Amino acid sequence: MGQKINPHILRLGINQKEWNNKYLEKNIEESSFYIFKTLEIQKYVSRFFFLHGLLVHTCKIRYTDNSLNLHVSFYCSKRFLKQIQFLNIENNFKTFSNLQGYSNIKKTFFKVLTKQPKKRIKSIKNYKNITSQINFKTNQILNFNSFSNKLIECLSKYTKNNIIVNIVLQNLNKGLSLRLVNKESQLFRKLILRLRKFSNNEFFKETINVVLISLKKKNSAKFLCEFIAREISQLKRHNYYLNFLKEILLVLVKSTFSSVNGIKIVINGRFNGAPRSKKKIILVGNVPTQTIISSVDYYKTTSYTQNGTFGVHVWITEK
């Protein structure tokens, strides 16, 4: 008797006109080597960006005889912005310590923020970090701590310094690469007013931006799935967040500016710390499971929480 297989395997590459990764192999063994190489690079890039608070949407790779070309589109989260603020404070005082003396740094820290105790504690912590790092003599050392240099250095070591590595970064935040036309922006503001009861929460703006990107950009199931998994691992009120996510999808999926016919989200786990695990399904629009012709983007991941692991599955049908 025949066994069932995963039907998502049949959909891979049927409706895609171009592959994300391009290379020219000389024999069969070299093609398998290129596939292994691309998977390892994509894993490393997604992990590297995640540790810096960035979410990778797509990572396209082009191989030539002498070069490796990467095109990475990413989204800046709140975690990344907090890290940047902290690093900018440190780096500014490092360069300041090179130009002027140790006593001038001491004055600048304690002149300001004397009336505000909470900010004063933060300034004292930064002051201690700077006193331990005064040994920076030149500004060239600071360049090695930058984001892009670390990434290029690691990739060049992986390729044994035989290939030139070129990286193109694209920011997908609203207003940069993703822009709405005047009519679309007006409609978007009207739709968001329906969700104003959730506006006091921290995750309100970020989830709306991520859902908007996943509705406008193609092949964004991985991006949406990893974002939901990250939010579930940080939050404790899982049911409240999933109700908010369902209302966003009901409002935005059926709008005129969305390039998506339907979204299906399935999550398994112990919601709100319950003793037994449950399964929750969010289905908005049409998501065909049997027809192979329809273009369906699928991704699954796990989120690690205090109450155990959660399995997150996302299906997105494109127009």
**Distance from C-alpha of 133 to C-alpha of 118, rounded to nearest angstrom:** 23
**Distance from C-alpha of 133 to C-alpha of 87, rounded to nearest angstrom:** 13
Q: What is the pLDDT of residues 48-84, one digit of tens each?
A: 888 888 889 989 898 887 888 888 888 887 766 665 5
- Give the pair of three-digit tokens for residue 75: 């989204």
CA 124 → CA 89, 91, 119, distances in Å? 12, 16, 9
Does the pLDDT at position 85 exceed 60?
no
Between 63 and 115, name the one with better pLDDT: 63
Does the pLDDT at position 164 exceed 90?
no
CATH 3.30.1140.32 in the chain is located at 182-318
Q: Could you give the 3-state DSSP secondary structure of residue 62?
A: strand
- In terms of CATH architecture, what is 182-318? 2-Layer Sandwich (3.30)
When pLDDT is cut at 50, 70 and 90, the band that residue 318 belongs to is confident
CA 15 → CA 54, 128, 155, 245, 294, distances in Å? 29, 57, 31, 29, 8
When pLDDT is cut at 50, 70 and 90, the band that residue 120 belongs to is low
Q: Could you give the 3-state DSSP secondary structure of residue 166?
A: strand
Q: What is the pLDDT of residues 178-227, one digit of tens each?
A: 667 778 888 888 888 888 888 888 888 889 889 988 988 888 899 999 99
Q: 197 near 271, Cβ under 8 Å? A: no
Name residue 27's amino acid.
N
Q: What percent of the chain has pLDDT over 70?
A: 70
